[in-house]
Structure 1
């Protein structure tokens, strides 16, 4: 019974601490984390106990008791998170605001059921605790699986605008204050008391959901902005690599033509050596698109080194409306992904990449096919990387999709009979104007 009394007496503090576990950056714990956490939790309960003792002794304040409790609990929770984890004070406030919203939501849901049961007759003392536990499971598990886990990056829950964090905390505080004020003034003897109580607490739950939604939409914007910055950097790196590859290819072409001139004047005994050198450096593809020639020549060499056969059937003129480094980036990422997949395959007959580019009506259709030993995981319409450092990988397919969409096209992937298909469709030059927005 002592444990039951303790849990019920400190349910707000325990609930806030438990909910905070959903929103703190666990992979960024400060040194001596356990000592910091125990000290912070102890301080939280000590202040709450002192406050409760003062209230019993008749201590009065201009603010209601529940307002003081809320302010102290929230401030101490922010301090606990900030000093225990390597995060900013604003991040700590974000975590504390979300934690209190979850605690407020679960508490109201549980006590709505408690009041409904009390309206029918007496209940066991452990019923409220059981309902609190059930409400926490029903609320916290979906929040973690559906939202929190998706926004973690490098161990830190990302958020964007500080104003949104501050406003969310203020809105939640005002809502809790007003709802508590209204609840205290409800007439318990009225026939409509239960209906009024349930309606008021349902409003509190909806407001807590609104606060969490605002916070998570803030995280969503930040995640998208972060991804866009990474994709922009990737595309800029690809542009620089394309310029270097183009310069290198021009040097090779000059050398190739010099060798041809030497070959025409060389005696028979030297021609065999010149032929061998020309074969090694010549441009292997002539597709009608310079960028496509360069990327295929580069990737075919890498495929040959990896024991992978690159089979191409391409019409480069279909891509004449695309910027050269976009072609280099898009096809380079597509072939790199296929090579990475085939690197795990032992059967040499299956280590084949088929690339086809053709015109169908007014669309350029690009298809990359390769064997896949394990079907890829798709989440929210995007491929999920299998690498351990998922936060730093998986942007190749996003970059391909972004470039295709830049030109009014699409990029889709599917698997049939252990064959992975990347299908890109882009309007041919002259059929649609390219948008002016950035590629990524």
Structure 2
């Protein structure tokens, strides 16, 4: 095999690499079709990609770049038709697949050339060896690619493609394409090679660098998201703690108001004007209804949070029932109590307050112990459509990058104590259950309560 042959990767090898790179991504993306329709799209894509590569191979050199652009378009069409993604997302994944395909084809053909170049074999034997090497090398490359993609694709952040992501990966692909093919266009540059082996070595190396840069871009995106998420979770935690402090001051004010009620009652009794008396009674009733929101569970922090949320329920005409043994929470940190109960009740109120039928605006809370487990159960009626992805509830708000941290914060708080969080939705009833192993002190309290 001559060195001139090295410079020309067989067209089928290129088509197979482009098709396989797209297929790996399609396996992880949400499908537009299923079953035989998807299989048909996959098979037709390989046939069309191969036919075009063979056609491009006989076109004049002047059509090389347009031919390459059309091959990329076919890759984009394959992803866009097979997957339920936007045009922008399909273009992003197409470019990433193109970088992967360029490396795979270049790497495979360089290895194949190295192994077969010094062998004196009959043509059909050499072709058999080439196809065996093609199968083995592509299997190795794309299996590794699959495992790399599985690491990234399980994170929803990677699937959220934005303009800056597209610009970045396009810049990487453009750099790779120009540098790796520069030597084929002209050898009169500092970055060009002069011999076939040297030129192809540069191409494979640059393609590999492009692939590394492409994955590095995704690593940076994950890191930035993790940083943003930590900050957002901390903000959620701080907000609920501030609400707790503010509510504590409000409750103290309510208590002082309650003690003043007896003086107001004396004034009402002395009032002879029926209209003024009725006005005083309405004001008095308004004050009493907020005092009724006060909770006494045995845990001061929980009392403040429940009182604050009870007031919010009163304002939104939500029926809130609570049966809670707050003493069971004594081993949980103040910030974690704020996170768990603040987030869960805030979500429940958000879901219930927009229900038109006021009789269905229901929220229930239970805190109790069973089998040495602390059980916290939140339940509320809902009418809005919930969205799940990979078994996880995700926010329905427009920008999920800025929302959806409530449930995550609850899960993180429960995990600190070895707990788990379960979500169940049935017959328009949302149930969030938290199970946390009880600490030794709490276990003894439970036994004492059971004996009593």
Aligned to 1:224: 226
Whole-angstrom distance in 1 between the partners of 2:365 and 2:236: 23
Aligned to 1:350: 360
Whole-angstrom distance in 1 between the partners of 2:156 and 2:413: 29
1:308 and 1:352 in contact (8 A); partners too = yes
When residues 342 and 247 of structure 1 are mapped into structure 2, their CA distance, relative to the original with a 3 A threshold, is: closer
Q: Is residue 8 of structure 1 aligned with residue 64 of structure 2?
A: yes
Deviation at 1:229, TM superposition (A): 0.9
Whole-angstrom distance in 1 between the partners of 2:385 and 2:161: 25
Map 1:284-433 onto structure 2 (within 5 A).
Answer: 284-373=294-383, 376-430=386-440
Aligned to 1:107: 102
Aligned to 1:252: 254
Whole-angstrom distance in 1 between the partners of 2:63 and 2:321: 68
Q: Deviations over 1:225-261 (max 9, x none)?
A: 210111111211222221121122122223323435x
1:291 and 1:324 in contact (8 A); partners too = yes
When residues 372 and 213 of structure 1 are mapped into structure 2, their CA distance, relative to the original with a 3 A threshold, is: same
SS at match of 1:254: helix
2:72 and 2:94 in contact (8 A); partners too = yes
Deviation at 1:361, TM superposition (A): 3.1
Note the aligned Cα RMSD (angstroms): 5.3
Task: Give the TM-score normalised by structure 2.
Answer: 0.54
1:151 and 1:157 in contact (8 A); partners too = no
Whole-angstrom distance in 2 between the partners of 1:254 and 1:294: 16
1:370 and 1:420 in contact (8 A); partners too = yes
Would you say how many aligned residue pairs link Structure 1 and Structure 2?
319
Which among 127, 149, 158 is matched to residue 150 of structure 1?
A: 158
Q: Deviations over 1:321-365 (max 9, x none)?
A: 223343233212112212222244333333211111111233221
1:370 and 1:421 in contact (8 A); partners too = yes
Deviation at 1:379, TM superposition (A): 2.4
Whole-angstrom distance in 2 between the partners of 1:352 and 1:336: 13
Whole-angstrom distance in 1 between the partners of 2:286 and 2:428: 40
2:351 and 2:384 in contact (8 A); partners too = no
Whole-angstrom distance in 1 between the partners of 2:74 and 2:402: 29
SS at match of 2:401: helix
2:328 and 2:368 in contact (8 A); partners too = yes
Whole-angstrom distance in 2 between the partners of 1:314 and 1:99: 54
Aligned to 1:233: 235
Which among 237, 244, 247 is matched to residue 242 of structure 1?
A: 244
Gaps of 5+ in 1: 23-94, 122-134, 159-164, 187-196, 433-440
2:102 and 2:207 in contact (8 A); partners too = no
Whole-angstrom distance in 1 between the partners of 2:65 and 2:268: 101
Q: Deviations over 1:149-192 (max 9, x none)?
A: 6364875449xxxxxx99xx99xx89x99xx98x9449xxxxxx
Aligned to 1:279: 288
Whole-angstrom distance in 2 between the partners of 1:411 and 1:269: 56
2:158 and 2:221 in contact (8 A); partners too = no
When residues 382 and 264 of structure 1 are mapped into structure 2, their CA distance, relative to the original with a 3 A threshold, is: same
Whole-angstrom distance in 2 between the partners of 1:347 and 1:281: 23
Aligned to 2:138: none
